[in-house]
Amino acid sequence: MRYASGAARICRGKPWSSMAETFTAGTRLTYAVPLPSAPEPLMSIEISHNPGEHRFEVVVDGVSCILDYTLSDNVMTITHTVVPPAVGGRGIASELVRTAMDTARAAQWKVIPACSYSAVWVQRHSDYADLLT
């Protein structure tokens, strides 16, 4: 059975964690899992690179989203990616990381994805593996 990301498992109207001890091995359980609504599709966003601040930034619906990095000896270390919940789920963080990776490629930098989001992103986008140190 497949579950939506971040969804709570429910059994007989109670959270699974509170029910787990009442069932024995071999008991078949049914889970009702609410599926999240489809996120708003991300139209076109314009990401700015602010090299002086070592930051990529975009404003979506009046909310600032950022990716911070450090640069030393032609190695970009992605340290922080922030997309507030108000605009989350639209692929903004992915586009911030993609833009940073494309910038690193164009500048012939290597990349260390130190923040957890960028590390997972690079694992899912193997076409950028050549940029890793």
Residue 83 vs residue 34, higher pLDDT? 83
Over the stretch 30-69, which tens digit does the pLDDT of each residue have? Answer: 444 444 444 555 568 999 999 999 999 999 999 999 999 9
| Predicted confidence (pLDDT) at residue 15 exceeds the cutoff of 90 | no
6 in Cβ contact with 37 (< 8 Å): no
Model confidence at 75, pLDDT cuts 50, 70, 90, reads very high
Domains of the chain, with CATH numbers? 1-36 (no CATH), 48-131 (3.40.630.30)
Q: How far is CA 129 from CA 111, 121, 123, 125, in A?
A: 9, 11, 8, 8
Over the stretch 104-117, which tens digit does the pLDDT of each residue have? Answer: 999 999 999 999 99
pTM metric for this prediction: 0.69
